[in-house]
Amino acid sequence: MKLTLHVWRQKNAEDRGRMVRYEVPGVNEHMSFLEMLDMLNERLTEKGEDPIAFDHDCREGICGMCGMMINGTPRLSCAAFLREYYPHPVRVEPLANFPVERDLVIVASRHHGLPVAYAPL
C-alpha cells in the first residue's frame, strides 16, 4: 500500500517551515507511524535528502517522546497505526503550542510536563 503524507519541515527554530508532500510506498496497515517514518527516512537518506527529524525513545507508548500532531490530534507515533488513516492523506506536524527545534522535534522540558503529559494511561 502507498500512503500520502504532508509533513512539517523546518530547518531550525528561526526557519519559517513548510509542509512537504511525500508518497510512501511499501507500507502496511499494521505499521506504526514511527516505523513508517523510519522507512521514509531510510529512503530520503538513500536519495541524499535530509531525513525528517523526530524524537523517540522507548517505542512502546510509555515515554511520550514520539508525540506529534497527526491530522490535528496529538498522538504518540509509536501507538498510532496506519490502518487508522489509510487510504486518506495524512498531515503530520510538531506538537502544538511548543517551540519547534527542527521538523517534528519540539523544545520541551520537565516544566512543560513532558513526557508524562503524553504517556498513555
CB 114 within 8 A of CB 30: no
Own/partner pairs, 19-24, CB within 8 angstroms, 24+ separation:
19/91
CATH superfamily of 2-118: Beta-grasp domain (3.10.20.30)
Nearest to 76 by CA among 90, 92, 53: 92
Give the tens place of pLDDT for each residue, 80-118.
999 999 999 999 999 998 899 999 999 876 545 554 444
Whole-angstrom Cα distance, residue 72 to residue 70? 5
Q: What is the pTM of this model?
A: 0.84
Average confidence score pLDDT of the chain: 88
Domain boundaries, the chain: 2-118
Average pLDDT over residues 24-30: 95
Contact 67, 94 (CB under 8 A): no
Q: What is the DSSP letter of 28?
A: -
